[in-house]
Amino acid sequence: MAINDGGSPPILAGKHYAQPSAFTPESLLREARRQKRITDSSIPDVCVLDPDGDMVRSLLAGGKARLEPGWACYHTQLYTFSRSGIDFGIVGCAVGASFAVVIAEEMFASGCKLLISVTSSGQIVPVRPPPYFIVIERALRDEGTSYHYMAASDYSYADAGLISALNGAFREFPVPVLTGATWTTDAPFRETQPAIDAMVQRNLMAVEMEAAALYAFAQARQKPVLCFAHVTNQMGRVDGDFEKGEADGSRDALQLIAIAADRLRSRLLP
């Protein structure tokens, strides 16, 4: 029998937001540790999601990251590295809302205390030529995962305290860092022109695939998560698109997360 809640589609019906999940990241990691014979250990306090994988590849190519043997995830590998005196854990290629939230759940269950995501994104409002970064303060919920964490609404919001803590942090940064809203979709090849036009009317600066779900997770679980959009392209609609910068944009992205982590950890970590 199909779930029906007053005619609501399944994505909105029967969610019971106040109820705990029967399946938890802790139980998954417990069994993964048992099967893989991994001892229980913590990962760094500050972790990074790198959906494009550029930062991970750059760190490995430079011999600056090592595989974390205590990471018990079935689907990914977590690497650790240090920058500006801060130890980080990083997972690459966790693309899309559902995958990103799976990894976020497992990171916080494994000892993470602050999560930063830097995702490549397509320009919607042409505020300047790419590449540049956006601190995502809110994200339109045009994906599915967020609706399992939080009741229906147009947007998921970043924690206002995290956003305000970054005031002035990127004044000397060599790449522009703006603040604004994005469109999170889970169907990147269904970005029709009418849809794009509608997002322009909403003044959404870029389109990406993770932020709305990560912010809904953060609100529901009361976990500190901050998302950046690295605007690197115009969705292939111009020749010579997808130029991210030096080392596929990883140099700038790594510097960005180090600045953000330095600002935020003083507010979040003992």
* CATH number where 232 lies: 3.40.50.1580
pLDDT at site 183: 98
Tell whether 3 is covered by a domain: no
Question: Which residues form the domain of 87?
Answer: 25-265
Tell whether 2 is covered by a domain: no
Tell whether 1 is covered by a domain: no
Q: How far is CA 120 from CA 79, 90, 123, 189, in A?
A: 20, 16, 10, 15
Query: What letters, b where the CB count within 10 A reaches 16 and e where it falls short, cover 175-186?
Result: bebeebbbbbbb
Residues of the chain with pLDDT under 70: 1-6, 234-248, 269-270
Tell whether 180 is covered by a domain: yes
pTM: 0.94
Residues 44, 52 contacting (CB under 8 angstroms): no
Number of domains into which the chain is organized: 1
Tell whether 121 is covered by a domain: yes
Q: Hey, is 126 helix, strand or coil? A: coil
Which residues are within 8 A (CB) of 62 and not within 5 positions of it... i.e. 6 or more apart?
Answer: none
pLDDT at site 8: 85
pLDDT at site 233: 76
Query: What tens digit of pLDDT does each residue of 140-188 get?
Result: 999 999 999 999 999 999 999 999 999 999 999 999 999 999 999 999 9
pLDDT at site 241: 47
pLDDT at site 238: 54
| Token pair recorded at residue 109 | 């269950």
Query: What tens digit of pLDDT does each residue of 110-124 get?
Result: 999 999 999 999 999
DSSP class of residue 58 equals H
pLDDT at site 243: 62
Tell whether 105 is covered by a domain: yes
Q: How far is CA 254 from CA 56, 100, 185, 250, in A?
A: 10, 19, 25, 6
pLDDT at site 230: 95
